[in-house]
Amino acid sequence: MLLAMAAVTISALADEGMWIPMLLGRNEADMQKAGMRITAKDIYDINNACLKDAVLLFNQGCTGEYVSGEGLFLTNHHCGYSYITMHSTVEHDYLTRGFWAMSREEELPCPGLTATRLVRMEDVTAQVLAGVTAETSEAERSSIVERNIKAIARRAEEGTHYKAVIKPFYYGNQYFMYINEVFTDVRLVGAPPSNIGKFGGDTDNWMWPRHTGDFSMFRVYAGADNKPANYSAENRPYKPLKHLEISLDGVQEGDFTFVFGYPGTTQRYVTSDAVELAANVENPIRIDLRTIRLKHYKDAMEKSPAQRLKYASKVASVANAWKKWQGETQGLNRMNAVEKKRGYEERYQKWAADKPQYYNVLPQLHEAYGTLRPIEVELIYYSEGVRASDFMQRAQKYSQLADESDALKIIGAVNRLKEDNKKYFADFEQHSAVDRAIFIETFLYLWEAGHAPYLGEKAPTKAAVEQKLGKIYDGSLLNNSKKLASFLDGYTEKSAKKLKKDPALGLFEMAYAQAYDPQKIAKYKSTYQDIQRLMRIYVKGMMEMQPDVNFFPDANLTLRVAYGHIQGFNSFDGARYEAFSDLKGIMDKENPNIYDYVVEDKLKELYALKDYGRYGIVEEINDSTVTETPDGMIIRRTHKVNNHMPVCFIATNHTTGGNSGSPVLNADGRLIGINFDRCWEGTMSDLLFDPDYCRNICLDIRYCLFIIDKYAEAGHLIDEMTLVSSK
């Protein structure tokens, strides 16, 4: 009994799971028990307009949701970021100041941006695996699968304007086809200033309590037939089959919530070896190497506003994963994830003992990870270490040039390098100090870890290696703007020889050879394929071993539903966190000297006036204070105060990267928030979910509306929406 129970808990923890909309019927009873008042069909239905028609894939990495019958949708500020930047100039700095289209004419086209609607999905496992038998070899299997997928997709698209995508689930035990409608005329409608949309910046990233107004607005345009059309002034706002109703009722601790969006990647079913590798080998190396880079970028950013600007977006992207990996490793170790997995694997082995198709799979996976591990580690040292400096990234480009023999390609490459150099040498004086330090420290790290033997096998001292690296940096043609320019001007095939002799290329090529040894890479690829195949068998076995468990498939950038409750949590250090944050918290954090905590004047004014319109939390306080005045008069007070502006909340929904911008819905399927992050303590949820710590972070929709209405005075956008209040 105990054994069976333990087996169940590892795969069906409360609130864990990213469920397939088409199969949500299986979760319906559980969702309703958890508080949901709508049905699975209200969420996904191919015969009627349903909530899924209001959800869209924003490019290939975020989610958005329609909030008006005229194609207006919401997503995160960090998702719309590059499009806001695209339209920003020094005169019209929308990124800093914010942007609000006051009429349809002012909405800004965003070339390259797509908004994809799922029309319907289908289980196509049988068709995809047609022709595969127990005897089919792995290589044959993949070519059959590939061929079938192409044919099925082509047939599905025929005579329609739809695009078909077929993806494997459970490592290829199942296949689903997604029929999509891809809109290509998408325009920027609104974005708050960075001090709101990015409030807290990297300091608060992955953290709770959070106060980021992380939203932006776009509108989809379509042809006269309401179908996707490329940009044209003639296009009209798209009329979605469904747009979300927005709840003004607010949220309470314990409320049922669900997140409907496009989570990118999880690795829920990997073995203990994979978890150990990620948590205790890969993450620590990546973290260390990025710590070196970040330290130098951040030091430079302190020096001047110009340098701050130069490194800001680099830091944002380097720091995002850096911080996540730290939370992930801590979380996994705290959960004893490796031990838990090993325990599960022991049970699996016992169960598989009399099943020849399964009893070998775990030992084989163990062996495969043993083979993979050293190669994987070398690749991480390369990508995070060798390529950390611009110097080595440039060395790679020059090394490719030196290897090029096609005359036309040489001309192209030389021109591109000349273009790059204009930017690179524009502030070389300052930047090279940063880049040189990063270069030297990362290589020293590799050398000390024993992964850069090419820097001196004869046990040289650290100081000697450092000196050698300094000489490479200073002596390279790549760092001499004048000599390099004339070298490129006169570049011919014969110049390759001279280029090859440059110390930068010499070092780069040795480091590259160390990571990309062809034999090792071939081994890596075949081992990786083995692991995929073995995982397919392993997961199939899991499902047979626990037939009563509803296994959710790993995220793969397909539409999913995650559900849970609004809930605070106790942090690692024992601190108790509320589930809500509010505008007062922004004022508490305010610091005009800390870039991430600058507050817009207008927001302060609205706060001072408590001018929150219908979006604030009005608390009626029947204050029964009785005051006696000196002359013996009794004064009784009762007053009504409108004193709260909610900003963010957290819930137990299982989400990951890609869920950014996803609608967070209440028990009635109404919009209450926009998902944008996870709490740091719970970032291990890509591998293992812990209901005590895993929380997704959501922007309270009322703060979003307040910013649009009161801050931006763009009430015309609110007028398009459907706001619902039961009070």
Catalytic annotation, residues: 78, 214, 660
The smaller minimum CB distance to ligand ARG, of residues 279 and 319, is found at: 319
Kindly tell me which residue out of 201, 657, 663, 669 binds ligand GLU, with binding defined by CB under 6 A.
657
Based on the number of CB atoms within 10 Å of its own CB, is 238 exposed (0-12), middle (13-18) or buried (19 or more)? buried
E strands of 192-279, at which residues? 216-222, 236-237, 245-247, 256-261
Could you tell me which residues are beta bridge partners of residue 617? Answer: 644
- CB neighbours of 592 closer than 8 A, spacing ≥ 6? 598
Long-range contacts of 476-482 (CB under 8 A, 24+ apart): 476/391, 476/395, 476/502, 476/503, 476/504, 477/502, 477/504, 478/391, 478/394, 478/395, 478/398, 478/502, 478/504, 479/391, 479/428, 479/432, 479/504, 481/421, 481/425, 481/428
From residue 640, how far is each of 330, 617, 618, 623, 710 by CA, in Å?
46, 11, 8, 9, 21
432 binds ligand GLU (CB under 6 A): no
To ligand GLU, the closest distance from the beta carbon of 206 in angstroms equals 8
- Judged by CB under 6 A, which stretch of 202-210, 244-252, 269-277, 354-362 contacts ligand ARG? 202-210
Based on the number of CB atoms within 10 Å of its own CB, is 230 exposed (0-12), middle (13-18) or buried (19 or more)? exposed
Kindly tell me which residue out of 205, 558, 662, 685 binds ligand ARG, with binding defined by CB under 6 A.
205
To ligand ARG, the closest distance from the beta carbon of 636 in angstroms equals 50
Out of ligand GLU, ligand ARG, none, what residue 205 binds, judged by CB under 5 to 8 A for its kind, is ligand ARG
String of contacts with ligand GLU for each residue 669-708, x by CB under 6 A: -------xxx------------------------------
Give dist(CA 53, CA 115) in Å, integer: 12
**Amino acid (one-letter) located at 123:** D
266 binds ligand GLU (CB under 6 A): no
Give dist(CA 325, CA 144) in Å, integer: 37
685 binds ligand ARG (CB under 6 A): no
53 binds ligand GLU (CB under 6 A): no
Kindly tell me which residue out of 207, 281, 316, 377 binds ligand ARG, with binding defined by CB under 6 A.
316
The smaller minimum CB distance to ligand GLU, of residues 479 and 659, is found at: 659
- Judged by CB under 6 A, which stretch of 108-116, 136-144, 197-205, 479-487 contacts ligand ARG? 197-205
Out of ligand GLU, ligand ARG, none, what residue 201 binds, judged by CB under 5 to 8 A for its kind, is ligand ARG
Enter the tokens of residue 154.
């082509």
Q: Residues 264-273, buried b or exposed e (16+ Cβ, 10 A)?
A: bebebbbbbb
How many residues form the binding site for ligand ARG (CB under 6 A)? 10
String of contacts with ligand ARG for each residue 57-96, x by CB under 6 A: ---------------------x------------------
Kindly tell me which residue out of 657, 673, 682, 691 binds ligand ARG, with binding defined by CB under 6 A.
657
261 binds ligand ARG (CB under 6 A): no
327 binds ligand GLU (CB under 6 A): no
**Amino acid (one-letter) located at 318:** V
Enter the tokens of residue 626.
């009785």
From residue 33, how far is each of 29, 39, 549, 615, 684 by CA, in Å?
6, 12, 17, 30, 27
257 binds ligand GLU (CB under 6 A): no
394 binds ligand GLU (CB under 6 A): no
32 binds ligand ARG (CB under 6 A): no
Could you tell me which residues are beta bridge partners of residue 696? Answer: 651, 678
To ligand ARG, the closest distance from the beta carbon of 676 in angstroms equals 6
476 binds ligand GLU (CB under 6 A): no
**Amino acid (one-letter) located at 647:** V
326 binds ligand GLU (CB under 6 A): no
Q: Are 682 and 167 in contact (CB under 8 A)?
A: no
Out of ligand GLU, ligand ARG, none, what residue 546 binds, judged by CB under 5 to 8 A for its kind, is none
Out of ligand GLU, ligand ARG, none, what residue 567 binds, judged by CB under 5 to 8 A for its kind, is none
17 binds ligand GLU (CB under 6 A): no
To ligand ARG, the closest distance from the beta carbon of 206 in angstroms equals 5
Could you tell me which residues are beta bridge partners of residue 122? Answer: 177
> For every residue of 91-108, which 3-state class applies, written as one string?
CCCHHHHCEECCCHHHCE
Residues found near ligand ARG in the complex (CB under 6 A)? 78, 201-202, 205-206, 316, 320, 657, 660, 677
Report the interface residues with ligand GLU, using CB under 6 A: 655-660, 676-678
